Amino acid sequence: MSSHVLPVREDGSAQAFNDISVEAMRNNAIFGVDTFLLCTPHWFCQQIEGPEGAVRRMLHRIAKDPRHFDLRLIEARPAPRLLRDGWRFAMVYKSIENRLAFLERGFSRAIVPYDRSAEDILDLFAAMNGVQPSTVQAEPVLGFAQ
């Protein structure tokens, strides 16, 4: 999870988010990972799925990215796979359409939720992916990171 200061449009989208998605699809293939990125006007949260070594290499690359500051690893462990089969990358940004999922789970628009548990964040990811947390299957080779 990290803070950012990228310009965000009224609807929650941003050109920078589009640029990130192009980079992510390329980098994910190189690193051999899959990522699910959640963007808000003030913070990013990311689940990285893949073998542990590949996940750690990707985290090291993200840590050097100047678009992020105050980067924090919430947890690294086997976790439920959130991306659909065949997807290398998915991105959701907070919008008018999905803001209720954030509010119902107590995620503020502006405050970076560093105090939230990995389970809280996984629940938010699952809601954004349209998957109920109870139906997500765990896969032992996956790494979890924000």
33-92, pLDDT tens digit by residue? 988 888 888 888 888 888 889 988 988 888 888 877 788 888 888 776 767 666 778 788
pLDDT at res. 109: 62
- Strands 43-49 and 2-3, how do they pair? antiparallel
Instruction: Look at residues 50, 16, 14 and name the one whose alpha carbon lies nearest to residue 33.
Output: 50
Residues 6+ apart with CB under 8 A from 136: 80, 81, 82, 126
pLDDT tops 70 at residue 145: no
Region of 52 please: left (phi>0), alpha (psi -120 to 50) or beta: alpha
pLDDT tens, 90-123? 788 788 888 888 888 888 766 778 788 888 888 8
Q: How far, CA to CA in Å, does 26 sit from each of 22, 29, 53, 57, 110?
A: 7, 6, 18, 15, 30
Question: How far apart are the C-alpha atoms of 37 and 47, rounded to whole Å?
Answer: 7
pLDDT at res. 85: 67
Question: How far apart are the C-alpha atoms of 1 and 10, rounded to whole Å?
Answer: 22
Q: Which of the four pLDDT bands, split at 50, 70 and 90, describes residue 142?
A: very low
CATH topology for 2-139? Answer: Alpha-Beta Plaits (3.30.70)
